[in-house]
Structure 1
């Protein structure tokens, strides 16, 4: 059982790290219409889209039934706490 708990904790910790990294990047590089319309910004636009996808995937995970099966934590509360940490 201890190995299972370690694996679950590692999955959740990695998801939090990925989420924090994505929202931190997007805070400094928001997706704007100008970014979509400027061909010189393609590399940055691609990074923004990648981070939006990472953020969205993490949010889906924390709101999923799988997360509820893995943990007794409230995924919505966890998301809110991570966002508060990044704002502060």
Structure 2
């Protein structure tokens, strides 16, 4: 599977899935920053981290999951 941006509709869908997961993770982290005891946000963040380390994620993108998680965490901490 070609993992570069382009006109491939399947790759566009894969990119959209990863981008939405990143946005959802960022949202969960922001809610946790406001209230570290927010169980729903914690569960969402943990599920998304699980997704980022899954075989499905590996099929969708070449982006290192730990790099993505670190960058999103840094964005919230700033």
Q: TM-score normalised to the size of structure 2?
A: 0.85
Task: Decide which structure has the larger Cα Rg and report it.
Answer: 1
Q: Which runs of 5+ in 1 are unaligned?
A: 32-47
- Higher helix proportion: 1
Q: Which runs of 5+ in 2 are unaligned?
A: 1-6
**1:65 CA drift (Å):** 1.4
Instruction: Give aligned pairs, total.
Output: 72
Q: Which runs of 4+ in 1 moved over 3 A?
A: none
Q: Deviation digits for residues 1-22 of structure 1, max 9, x if unmatched? A: 7111110111011101110010
CA-atom RMSD, angstroms?
1.1
Q: TM-score normalised to the size of structure 1?
A: 0.76
